[in-house]
Each structure stands twice: as C-alpha cells, then as structure tokens.
Amino acid sequence: MRLTGLSTLAQGARAWPFEQARNLLARTVRRRLEPEAGKDALSLIAAGRAEEAVKAHPALKASPVVLETGYGASGLPHIGTFQENARTTMVRTAFRALTEDAIPTTLICFSDDMDGLRKAPPGLPDQEGLKADLHKPLTAVRDPFGEHESFGAHNNARMRRFLDQFGFDYEFRSSTEMYRSGAFDAQLRLALERFDEIQAVMLPTLGPERRATYSPFLPISPKTGRVLQVPTLERDVKAGTIVFEDEDGTRTEVPVTGGHVKMQWKPDWAMRWAALAVDYEMSGKDLIDSVKVSSRICRILGGEPPEGFNYELFLDENGEKISKSRGNGLTMEDWLRYGAPESLAYYVFQSPKSAKKLYFDVIPKASDEYLQQLDAYREQDAAKRLDNPVWSVHGGAPPEHGSPVSFSLLLNLVSAANASDAAILWGFIERYIPGATPETQPLLDRLTTYAIHYFEDFVRPSKRFRAASEQERAALQDLAARLRRLGPGCADAETIQNEVYAAGKAAGFEPLRAWFQAIYEVLLGQPQGPRFGSFVAIFGVERTLDLIDRALAGKLA
C-alpha cells in the first residue's frame, strides 16, 4: 500500500514517529544533495510535491533509505525484539507518508550470528554438545534440536518466523554470510589500515586488564574454530592480514577478510553502519555510551552514524530492569495469551523515552486504550489521525471496525457468567448485539479468548467477595427494584446506568464512586470493574437480579 497525499499533514504531525521521520528526511537530503539542492527538495516535499522533488533530484532515490534493527542469535526472539522492530517500522511508515513513498526505504534485520557462544543456554537439549562448541561462532555451533545446520541457523529461522508472524516487512541479513561473502571486506581492510585510530577510541573505554590485550579484530582459530579474544601481534596492511597467537601457542597469520575474523561488537556495529550505509537505528538507553563510541569509529571507517534515539527500558512490576536471564518480565507468549498483538504494539508506541512497567496488569489497560483509540480514529479529521497511535500501529491503515465490547467488560462477563469458553460469552454477545458473530466481529472474537485466559490465571485466584454494609444492602435492593421496573428485556446501557446512578444517590453515597466500588466488591469480588450499565445490558437484567439476590444472601463468596 502506498502512503500518498499525506506529506503536508505529516510535516505537522506531533507523534514521535513523525519527529523521527523528519530527522531521517533531513539526513537523507543532507547526505545525498548539495545544500542548495537540498533546500529546494525539502521545500517541494513540504508542499506535498515529493514526486516532483525526486524527479528534480534523482539522487534522493538512487538507493533505499536504510533502517536497521539487530538480533542476538544466541537466544530466541522476545518482547524486546518485537518492540524494536515495531517502533522502527513505525518510523519507516511515517517517513513513507512524509515523502509520499517517493523515496524507497528498506528495513534490515541484522543477526549477530557470528558471535561466539559464551555459555550453553540452560534448558536446551544436548548440553554436552553445546559445551563442546563453546566460543565457536553461533553458525558453527551444532543445533541442539537437530533441525538446522547450526544453532545460529536454528535461531535465525525462528527469528524470521517471528517477524513474519507479525507482518513485518524486512530484509534479513546474517553476520556470518556478510563476513564470508566479502560484503564487509572493504571496511575490514580500512579498519586494519586505521587500526591505531580505532584503538585510540576504544582503549580509554576499557579497564587496565582488558586494555592490555584488546584488539578490534577477533580472529577465528583455523585449528579450533573458536572466536578468540587475543591481542593482534602484527599487522600487514598491504596484505590485509594480522598475526596472533593461537590457542596452542603458535603464531598464526590470517586475512581480516572473508570471514577469518570478526570485529569486537562496538567496532562491528560501526563497521556495519558504514558498510550497509545505515540511515536509522534506535537502541536502548543502556547503549547510549556504546552508540557514541561506535559513532566515532563509524566516521573513522568513512561512514556517517545513523539517525535514531535511545529508548527507555521496560521495568518489571517492582520497577526493576527486565532481564532475559532473570526472567522477571513478560514474554511474547505471555502477552499473546492474554492480549492481541495490536495492543502490545500500542503499548510500545506510547512514550518510548519513558520507562514503563511491563507485567501482566498492564495488558487489560493497554487493550482497552487501544480499542478506545481505534474508536476515536473513525471520528477524527485527517490531521489528528496521524497522531493517533493506531495509525502507526497499523501502518497507516487501521481496521474499520474495532470491538463493540471492551476487554474489561469481557473480563467481568466471564466472571459473572462463570464462562469457560468463548461460546458461552457469544451467547450473551449475540443477544446484546443482534447479528454479531465471530465472523463479523473477528477482533471481539479474539478478545473473548484472551479474557477467559486472563480471568482464569489472574482474576479468579484473587477474587474476594465481601458482605454488603447496611447502606450498600439498601442501595442494592433499590437497584434491584429499579431493574425490575425496566423489565428483563431492557438492553439500553445508558438507561440502566442512569438507574445505577439514581440508586447510589438515593442511598446517600458521597462520593458516588464509593457506590460503584461497593457494587464491584460485593457482586464481582474485585475493587473495580467496567461501566456497570454496559455490564447489565450485555449480561442481562434477569441474570443481574439473580447476582444481586445471591450476593445479599451470601452465596457468592
């Protein structure tokens, strides 16, 4: 899908992907055009004449603008992998809108699969085999699952399936293939030539012990196949080789090209930026200093560091940094059991430069906020739509229909109906929304399953019903009388909500929210819930009356 007719609006969009896209456009123009030509191109694009700008300045589309994400192939893709690719794709989409798709773009997902295996990941089969292959490149480590030619190839395949599952548009690049194919040879030779300049950047960042043996080149032993952290003893710039001491003590000479060495990770990152002409890459706040160091090395290697920004890291429910090794955060599997991928994309869109907690309690809130934004989008003008998160979540084409029932309402419906499968919920939904089916409401259909899972795992174990106070008992009896007067067939949520308000006011609740809290605690066994009128409308007046009767009789606890 082409994103056209949006350039002028994109100039003024305030959402962070558009801010990043404007920075990326400025870089693209600066890198490809002379100053006066650049001013003309930017003026034309700002006026919504991007096609004209590209025709007048064909250098703008001589090659794609390159956005990059990275993948550590020693483990499986995870929620951090999703957020980095999702956010980068959001910037790419904003750039496409800003430039009317007149300037081509590409997203490279780069796998660091030539890194040495540092330890055998626990929980995997063939631990002995993995331990025997320690320090070999991941693409030389045997696959413990026996499915691919190497452990790196196995994880790369999982990564590609992961990206494909969520519909990302990308080009996959393997570090091993890039080194071995010669794609990095020019930069590797230049790095050898400018060895001392790179060392001058790196050594001050290291401790005394590491500084004494550090080399930007990590040779791969011809004898053991391991990636070695050893000093470079000699360099032959003309021949393009280095000499090092192999594991058996012999002095060994290897070319820096053709996959015989790989670079340490900060020089490697810089070399990759230069070799692939990367224009944009974001990274976590913990890598701010690394970005600065790699940027300096990138310039030494003749490149220009990419645009990008440092996002804040996710925190667990205790406010501590999430760590894969500690397992103190949500996994992708966790989120997708309880919430739609769209709700996760919405969550990672929000405030990327602010630290956010990522644990189970955020899923219902993120789900409902996503649905609210989807509803708001349909009523907004074109300019406001670009700043609505769902525009970025859905690549500029949000679905026409959301869900007529909120996630929080579904959770309470599951609770009150004691629903164990989606078919039970659909029995209520079809009565509340005539003509609704899982086929006509696909998002709602998915939400019903998520709600059942979430209720069973988190809500049911924590439900605590309490007895009503005298004031609450009188108010609930009044509410029951009011509902009976409405009749069992009433499904007007607003009318029902008005009666709920009236019962609370008549009982003297001040503030009125104390009345609603009482309803949730006495009838649903939890401190908060959905708009109660909507709940009654979908659950049914008769069933709600039965719920009140059982609560007042002490039969819900």
pLDDT range class, residue 316, cuts 50, 70, 90: confident
State residue 421 phi and psi, 5-degree precision.
-150, 165
Residue 2 pLDDT greater than 90, yes or no: no
pLDDT at position 467 over 80: yes
Same domain, 33 and 149: yes
- Give every CB contact of residue 122 below 8 A, 6+ residues apart in sequence: none
Mean pLDDT of 296-324: 89
Indicate the residue among 247, 263, 279 that finishes a domain.
Answer: 263
* Paired strand residues for 253: 243
- CATH number, position 243: 2.30.30
**324 pLDDT exceeds 80?**
no
Structure tokens at 301: 């290697």
Q: What is the pLDDT of residue 527?
A: 87
Which ranges constitute the DSSP H helices of 221-282?
Answer: 265-276
| 39, 43, 358, 484 from 36: Cα distances, Å | 5, 11, 47, 77
Pair (325, 214) in one structural domain: no
The total of other beta-carbon atoms located within 10 Å of residue 15's CB is 18
Mean predicted lDDT score pLDDT of the chain: 95
Residues of the domain holding 139: 7-181
User: Which CA distances in Å does 245 have to 209, 214, 222, 228, 551?
Assistant: 18, 13, 11, 10, 79
Using CA atoms, how far apart are residues 421 and 414, in angstroms rounded to an integer? 9
Claim to verify: residue 456 and residue 474 sit in the same structural domain:
no
Measured torsion, CA atoms of residues 538, 541, 545, 546, in degrees rounded to the nearest 10 = -60
Whether the Cβ atoms of residue 538 and residue 530 lie closer than 8 Å to each other: no
Based on the domain organization, do 19 and 168 belong to the same domain? Answer: yes
From CA 193, how far away is CA 178, in angstroms rounded?
20
How far apart are alpha carbons 513 and 521 in whole angstroms?
12
| Long-range Cβ contact pairs of 512-520 (< 8 A, separation 24 or more) | 515/472, 515/475, 518/468, 518/469, 518/472, 518/475, 519/476
Tell which of 393, 421, 437 closes a domain. 393
* pLDDT band at residue 491 using 50, 70 and 90 as cut-offs: confident
Same domain, 75 and 175: yes
- In the predicted structure, residue 322 carries a pLDDT above the cut 80: no
Q: What pLDDT score does 317 carry? A: 77
Within-domain flag for 274:
no
* Residue 327 reports pLDDT greater than 70: no
Residue 431 confidence (pLDDT) above 90 = no
Mean pLDDT is highest, among 272-286, 312-326, 425-439, for 272-286
Same structural domain for residues 50 and 170? yes
pLDDT at 4: 87
Distance CA 527, CA 361 (A): 14
How many domains would you assign to the chain?
Answer: 5
What contacts 376, CB < 8 A, 6 or more positions away?
A: 388
- Indicate whether 453 and 474 sit together in one domain: no
**pLDDT at position 325:** 60
The whole-number average pLDDT for the span 398-411 is 94
pLDDT-derived band at 320, boundaries 50, 70, 90: confident
418 — pLDDT class (breaks 50, 70, 90): confident
* Same-domain status, 42 and 80: yes
Q: pLDDT class for 489, splitting at 50, 70, 90?
A: confident
User: Do residue 30 and residue 121 come from a single domain?
Assistant: yes
**What pLDDT, on a 0 to 100 scale, did the predictor assign at position 557?**
64
Q: How confident is the model at residue 528 (pLDDT cuts 50, 70, 90)?
A: confident
pLDDT in tens, 38-58: 999 999 999 999 999 999 999
pLDDT at 516: 95
Give the whole-angstrom CA distance, residue 235 versus residue 217.
Answer: 11
Q: Which of 227, 243, 263 is the last residue of a domain?
A: 263
138 lies in the same domain as 11:
yes
Whole-structure pTM value: 0.94
How wide is the angle at C-alpha 304 spanned by C-alphas 301 and 309, nearest 5°? 125
- Res 345: pLDDT: 98
Scan for tokens 């085999």, then name that residue.
129
Confidence class of residue 190 from pLDDT cuts 50, 70 and 90? very high
The CATH number linked to 97 is: 3.40.50.620
In the prediction, which pLDDT does 328 show?
65
